[in-house]
Chain A
Amino acid sequence: MKEHLIFVGKHAVRMLLLLFCVSAVAFTLVSISPIDPLQANVGQAALGSMSQEQIAKLQAYWGVGEPPVERFFAWAGDFFRGDMGVSLLYRQPVAKVIGVKLHNSLWLMAIAWTLSGLAGFLLGVLAGLREGSILDKIIKGYSLLIASTPAFWLALVLLMIFAVWLKVLPIGLSVPIGVEAAGVTILDRIRHAILPAVTLSITGIANITLHTREKMIEIMESDYVLFARARGESTWNIVKNHALRNVLLPAVTLQFASISEIFGGSVLIEQVFSYPGLGQAAVTAGLGSDVPLLLGITVISAAFVFGGNLIANLLYGVIDPRIRRGGARA
Chain B
Amino acid sequence: MVVGSSRSRNAAAFLFLLPSLMGLGVFFLLPIGSSLLMSLTDWDALQPMATARLVGVSNFAELFRTPELYKVLSHTLTYMGLYIPLVIIASLVEANLLAKDFRGLRLYKVMFYLPVITSWVAGSLIWRWVLNSKYGFLNNWLLAIGIQGPPWLSSQTWAMPGIVLAAVWKDTGYYALIFLAALKSINRSYYEAAAVDGARGWRVFTRITLPLVSPTIFFVLVINVINGFQVFDSVWVMTHGGPVEATTVIAERIFRNAFTYYKMGFAAAYSWILFAFILVATVVQMRIQNRWVNYDA
Do A and B bind?
A: no
A contact set with B: CB distance below 8 Å: none
